[in-house]
Amino acid sequence: MPETIDIDADPFLKLLTDALRAGPGSPDWHQAVSRLRSGGERNLDEYNMLIAARERLESGRGYREIRPGPAFTRKVMDGIDAEPPPGRRALPTANLIAILGAAVVLVVLASVGFWLLHGPPAANPGEDLSNAYFGTTVADATFNAPLPPAWRTLGPAPLDPARGLRPTTLPATTASSADYDGGGVVLTNGIPADQAFAVEASFRIQHVTDDVIPELFVTDQPDFDADRATSAHELVWLVREGHAKVVLPDQQFAGSSEKVTDGQSLTVRAIIGQNTAQLVSGRHTIWSGPSQLAGDRPRYVGIRVLRRGNEKKDRDAVIVQSVKVMQR
- Rounded CA gap, 257 and 218, in Å? 19
Dist. CA 142–CA 53, nearest whole Å? 100
* Least distance CB 83 / another protein (angstroms): 6
- DSSP-derived letter for residue 87 is G
Please, what is the Cα angle at 255 between 250 and 260, to 5 degrees?
110
Kindly tell me which of 76 and 106 has the beta carbon lying closer to another protein: 76
Rounded Cα distance, 70 and 73, in Å:
5
Contact 153, 302 (CB under 8 A): no
Q: Which of 48, 142, 221, 327 binds another protein (CB under 8 A)?
A: 48
In the bound state with another protein, the residue whose beta carbon lies nearer, of 66 and 117, is 66
Please tell me the count of residues contacting another protein according to CB under 8 A. 63
Q: Is 86 in the site for another protein (CB under 8 A)?
A: yes
Residue 248 to residue 236: CA distance in whole angstroms: 6
Q: Closest Cα partner for 239 from 219, 266, 263?
A: 266
Write down the least CB distance from residue 125 to another protein, Å: 51
Regarding 85 and contact with another protein (CB under 8 A), the answer is: yes
Which residues contact residue 15 at a Cβ distance below 8 angstroms, ignoring those fewer than 6 apart? 28, 31, 32, 35
Phi, psi (deg, nearest 5) at residue 36: -70, -40
The yes or no reply on residue 5 touching another protein (CB under 8 A) is yes
Q: Does 97 bind another protein (CB under 8 A)?
A: no
- Window of 5-13, 188-196, 230-238, 263-271 that interacts with another protein by CB under 8 A: 5-13
Give yes or no for residue 41 binding another protein (CB under 8 A): no
User: Cα dihedral sign for 286, 289, 291, 295?
Assistant: positive
**64 scored as a contact of another protein (CB under 8 A):** yes
User: Which of these segments, 43-51, 103-111, 154-162, 315-323, binds another protein (CB under 8 A)?
Assistant: 43-51
Interacting residue with another protein among 39, 60, 121, 149 (CB under 8 A) = 60
Span near another protein by CB under 8 A; candidates 59-67, 253-261, 272-280, 286-294: 59-67
**Chain residues that interact with another protein, rule: CB under 8 A:** 1, 5, 7-8, 13-18, 20-21, 23-25, 28-30, 33-34, 37, 45-46, 48-73, 75-77, 79-81, 83, 85-89, 92, 95
